[in-house]
Structure 1
Amino acid sequence: MTELITKEPKKNNLNPIYGNMIFLEQFVESVISYSSRYNSILSILYAPENLIGNPSKYPNYGDYPNSYTLRSYGKWWNQSEAAQPDYMPQDVDRIPSEDFVTVRFKHGVFPENVHIYETYNPGAVVRLWGHLVSNPWLLLWEGDPQVCLPVARRFSPPIRQVKELVNEIRIEFNQSTLKYYTSLDAVLLTGYQPKSLLQCKLLQKGLFDCLDGCDCDIDKSIESHPCSDGIDLFADLPFEVMVHVFQYLDLKSLCRCAQVSKRWYSITFDPTLYREISLKRYWNKVDGAVIKHFISKCKNVKKLDMSWCSIEKQITEPVFIEFLERCCPNITHLSLGHCFGHTSSLGYITKYGDLTDLRLRNCKCKTEEYKALSNLTKLTALDLYCSSISDEYLINILKSNRDLKHLNLDLCELLERLDEVTEIVSIYNPNLITWSSWKTYSITSEGVKFLAQCSSLRELDLGWCLLLNDPGNCLERIATGCKDLRRLILSGWRGVNDQLLLPLIRQCEQIRELDLLGMKNISVDICERILSSFTKLKLLDISFCDLIKPEQVVLWQQHYPNVTIQQAQ
């Protein structure tokens, strides 16, 4: 149960009016959304839902299954060949957010503090947002990712005062500085609940000094209009030169430039400034009005990133389709991570035959809506992380896109015939460079053997795929067929022993990252051979390998200082 504590009014020197309100402490009542999870859909272990209620492990420190754990850590995932490049580098936030989770509390309050209980590898929280359901999001706090000691902590950053009630908190993460996976145990929101509607309205009318909760003004600046001309130090520069200079500006700066003068206003309408657009940074501001504004400026968008923009709630389907039709006739890169929900828009996307890179991470489309994607024929990268695609539709897509190089099927738990999928890949997509099907369970050792026919494979993620199945000789086949492997993730392969790893050591000299987490039967000897044979190795994960003692790992870490050796217990 969510703990709710009502206390006597607290004395507040900054805002005396709080003294007449009810002070509440609330733990999470429900989890609304998230971009990353470590659990499979049928398991509560490491799931976001573990944030609900009181902390269960704090102040203890460790890898606890009844906490919420994020999927990635460090820079390893961003360095993958399949990682999405920045479409608009000048619009990357100074503190980039890699993942988020949104939680809801029972009562709306004027927030005083947000306490985050971090029980494993703390330091990834970089931004806190708050709002009352259906109201605009307010930025409460932001800060750089931190390097912390390996101890549990209750992280309580100094949040901004806001004059709005808050009952939802969104936590954003940047895991780039983490040495290993991070886990959260609980979130506590403290604040003041008005005793009456009148009291609430008085606060919202600004009867005390209160800081605005958000400094992102893209929504205001897009409504700009030409100002009267003043002294323009750029007046003698040709129009083309000005356009070139403006290409280095982010979207917010372009909106502000539109307010400088009539000439600058006209320059900001040049379509070449909007060939690559990234709206992820402005997820909380993007709505139908913003999209209509871009319709007036954009003519030939090549790359579009609308990740996190929740378009099913903020943008009507007709507006989104109009934007695609009028502004993106020749689009090649489209990223809609954790935002897609319109019923027929996937069909419109497939009209754009030049698409080569399509990212649909965490999309909420119905299974049958993926059928339309088989009309695409030029895809080289397809990211379906945590989607509801079925085997039939995926197979049709693979057959239609013979130049596919990167495929992500992580947590696609409706796929029940992965062996058949891998056979199709070996026939129609033999030049595949990266394959990832982390925690997509229907593959067997026979399916893995089909992947061995993709001789160009450099990254192979089969983590948690063969929990109970006998791996047989599939690793030998992989080693023989994919000698250029650089990244190999085999976490959770319980049946692997030293003998089965030997072919990799003999033939895959290029391996830089190797994940053997949970292999309970591998010995110190095979790990020693791995470390001495893979001269380019940068990461070795041998967590929960029962035969490897911590003191041995310490010696390896001293002897191989260029290799990050992970060992969680």
Structure 2
Amino acid sequence: MSLLAHGEPAESSETDSPAVEAEPDVLVDFTAMLQRQRQGGEYGGWFGCDSKMQTTQSDQGYYLEQYVLGVLDFSSQYGIDYSISYTAANVIGRPTKFPAYGDYPETFPMRTYGDWWQRAPSATREIQPQNLPKLETHDYVVVYFEEFVVPTEVAIFETFNPGAVVRIWAYGLTKNWTCLWEATESDLARPPPLDSRRFAPPLKKTTMLTKTLRIDFNHSRLNYYTEIDAIMLCGRTVTKTQNLLAKQQIRQHSRTLVSPPPEVIGSTPGDSGGGSISYKLRTLKFQPNCGEDGATKLHEFINNDLVQFLADNCVDGEEAAPQVCLTDLPFEILLRILSYLDLKSLFRVGHVSRTFYDISTHPLLYAEISLKPYWDVASSELLCTLARRATMLRKLDLSWCGGFGNVSPTEFKKFLTQRGDNLTHLRLNSCKFLNASCIENVGIVCDNLIELSLRNCATEPPLLNFSCLANLKNLERLDLFQTYFETELLLSMLEGNRKLKHLNLVNSRASYPATGLDQECLLILTDRQEGSLWRSSEVRVERWCKLRGNLLFYLKDKDPKSAVAGLLVLENCRARIQNEERDPDGYVFDLDFKDSPSERFITRSSAERLAWVQCIEQASSERLNALIRQLKDQIVSQSRQPSSGASSMGNHIDLGMPLEQQMQEQLQLHGQLAEDGQLSVSVTTEVVAPIEGDLIQF
């Protein structure tokens, strides 16, 4: 799902502020980062739409309209990751439903709408809410196109409940995000239309090059899910010479890039230097009377000009009453005032004076940190700076951060090792830098966690390692929305968390099924089609397949909710892997039947192929009957034990699949008990073995 390219982390900058120079451990100037980010770069771009149109070509390039080539990242989607219905991948290419209006599976909706989910009792409360902008972002999608262009228009084709788009961002060659458009209060005041629309807001004028966009959504005004059909980027391309010159200028710009000096409090534009006294003297309207000969006489000034001079400058000869300065307030009062500031303002206040710097870096102001609103400037250097201030950290939200390699897994683990031992809330939603080692570090260090959120984190092997999360004993909320996990490791973790109140497994995928007899995923199989003149052909199609016991169902298409097209009876069959390597279509395994033709299946990964082979090897009526007999024998043995005063509820019953030797022993024991008349539980039904390899069409 995610194809994030990992770039180099942003370079740290130094500041000329005396307040910051006083502390050598500050490695990044957050204010300078934000200022450079808001100013934007003059260049930009990244990555790679096969759907494009060229017009008016010239020496300066040509005007180009192109559609999405691929999806890099997204925060949520209504559909499941291995389906084509209601997924983010549906924004790729040209519109398929526009201008039709309605609910279509071929579009991209997200998981939420309205504000009911924020008012629900189970809703999560924002960490450091003062960081949130006036118009909050609920979801996002990052897409890329084929050609670099200077953006002049971005068109979003909305086919159902439009009106959720609030920001459009572009990623440049300087590895910075620039906001091309943001919704205003007047935009939000207009009611959303009830028809499909091609939404193309006026963009900020820029000369940057880009082919990567991020669209932000806010669903608070919607009464139902919004759906996006396609996204089009319009702009003018550049010639190869212009592109090389732009890259050369970027390299020169990055070498000479320094943090802008902080503004001097009390200075004005146009000051040539000097302090406040020099500035006062330059602004005084003082011009004494002069004689004809040009000589200034002191007594004439005192007699004629002194009164007017004092009146103009409000000097009455008496000492002015001393004024109370803000820094004269108690430290606790100043600390409370600064606690209402957002993270960006805290860094800016530190440039005012040494007193404000000491207050703005107090650990109590960093007990809760949320970098989610600052995803565009979050980096490893910023984490290193915060680690030196947040010595009393309790809650941390790094959601949406770390894209394009800005946060490294090593720096994240270092931050957790330093400041994670007292964490109670940790949110890592859509953090693509996470790997198994990061999750292992969370389980080892953050043993006081009450809330852990890993929404939409890892969808490709290697899977997240949940073994070390078994150390967590105080979890009350666990969110694994659209995240891969190993079932047994997750169960072992849940077993130790008796206080768990909220568990989210929506659209999540397990590496192995919960039981040894169930399996389902997307498979490529061979479909035999009858042709003319009694000829038949074989076509490989991708279908959703479900294994239930010894029955393998395959559906009509990729949608897991589609109708059943047919099934295979897995009796007297053997799963065979002929080649361990990956074929051009995927990982192949065959089903060989005794009296029927073989069937070939293709999976996406070797882990999925191994899981299917293991399940199919256990799928037979004989094994199912053996399992039934084993369970009934356990019931018989439990019923023979003398009853005690204590309740027998909760006794463990082994539900594992018996081995071959165990199966033979169970069969012999079952026969002896039946002959001796000691078996009180009669077996009235058994799984009847159908003809092996039966292919039943619906």
- TM-score normalised to structure 2 length: 0.54
Q: Percent identity?
A: 34
**Residue 58 of structure 1: how far off its partner (Å):** 1.1
Report deviation, 1:347: 1.5
Structure 2 equivalent of residue 400 of structure 1: 496
- Which residue is equivalent to 1:123? 163
1:273-332 C-alpha deviation (Å, 9 max, x unpaired): 000011000001011111111122110110000000026821223321222222232110
Question: Superposition pairs for residues 246-395 of structure 1, below 5 Å?
Answer: 246-310=338-402, 313-339=405-431, 340-350=433-443, 351-364=445-458, 366-367=462-463, 369-395=465-491
Supply the distance in 2 between the matched residues of 1:394 and 1:443 (Cα, whole angstroms): 22
Q: 1:89 aligned to 2:129?
A: yes
Give the direction of change, closer, same or farther, for the CA distance of 1:395–1:203 in structure 2 (3 Å limit): closer
Using a 3 Å threshold, how does the CA distance of structure 1 residues 283 and 368 change in structure 2: closer, same or farther? closer
Query: Letter of the aligned partner of 1:272 in structure 2?
Result: L
Worse-matched range after superposition: 320-329 or 266-275: 320-329
Distance 1:135 1:125, change over 3 A: same
Q: 1:344 corresponds to which letter in structure 2?
A: S
Q: Distance in 1 between matches of 2:225 and 2:204?
A: 29
Name the CA distance, whole Å, in 2 between partners of 1:283 and 1:107.
Answer: 25
Q: What number of residue pairs does the alignment pair up? A: 409
Q: What is the one-letter code of the residue matched to 1:289?
A: E
Q: What does residue 555 of structure 1 align with?
A: none
The residue identity in structure 2 corresponding to 1:184 is: I
Q: Which residue number in structure 1 is paired with residue 241 of structure 2?
A: 197
Q: Kindly provide the amino acid, as one letter, of the partner of residue 313 in structure 1.
A: G
Q: Which runs of 5+ in 1 are unaligned?
A: 11-18, 207-218, 421-440, 445-463, 470-569
- The alpha-carbon deviation at position 416 of structure 1 amounts to 6.0
1:196-234: CA deviations, max 9, x gaps? 33377469969xxxxxxxxxxxx969x979989999931
Rate the CA distance shift 1:133–1:395 in 2: closer, same or farther, 3 A: farther
- Mapping 1:137-152, distance limit 5 Å: 137-143=177-183, 147-152=191-196
For 2:170, what is the secondary structure of its paired residue?
A: strand
Equivalent residue letter for 1:389:
F
CA distance 1:465–1:24, shift in 2 (3 Å): closer
What code does the residue aligned with 2:448 have?
D
Distance 1:332 1:132 in 2: 37
1:31 aligned residue: 71
Return the structure number with greater relative CO, CA threshold 8 A, min gap 6: 2
Question: For 1:167-191, what per-residue CA distance to the aligned partner results, in whole angstroms no more than 9, with x for missing partners?
Answer: 0110011111111111011111001
Structure 2 alignment gaps of length 5 or more:
1-48, 251-257, 267-274, 277-322, 517-544, 549-558, 565-698
Asked if the contact 2:173–2:209 (Cα under 8 Å) also holds between the matched residues in 1, the reply is no
SS of residue in 2 equivalent to 1:77: helix
* Residue 54 (structure 2) aligns with: 6
- 2:466 partner SS: helix
- Whether the 8 Å CA contact 2:409–2:434 is kept in 1: the answer is no
**What is the RMSD computed on CA atoms of the aligned residues?**
3.3
Distance 1:147 1:324 in 2: 45
Could you list the per-position Cα deviations for residues 149-169 of structure 1 after superposition, in whole angstroms to 9, with x for gaps in the alignment? 210011111111223211011
Q: Is the 8 A contact 2:439 2:464 kept in 1?
A: no
CA distance in 2 between partners of 1:233 and 1:443 (Å): 75
Name the CA distance, whole Å, in 1 between partners of 2:116 and 2:206.
Answer: 37
Q: Provide the secondary structure at the position in 2 that maps to 1:115.
A: strand
Does 2:223 align with 1:179? yes
1-structure distance, mates of 2:56, 2:404? 42
Could you say which residue in structure 1 is the equivalent of 2:198?
Answer: 154
Which residue identity lines up with residue 235 of structure 2 in the other structure? Answer: G
Name the CA shift for 1:312/1:117 in 2 (closer, same or farther; >3 Å): closer
Quick check: 1:287–1:311 contact (8 Å CA) kept in 2?
Answer: no
TM-fit CA distance, 1:264: 0.7
- In structure 2, how many angstroms separate the alpha carbons of the residues matched to 1:76 and 1:148? 18
- For residue 476 of structure 2, what is the amino acid of its counterpart? T
Paired amino acid for 2:481: Y
Distance 2:325 2:214 in 1: 43
3-state SS of 1:370 partner? coil
Counterpart secondary structure, 1:108: strand
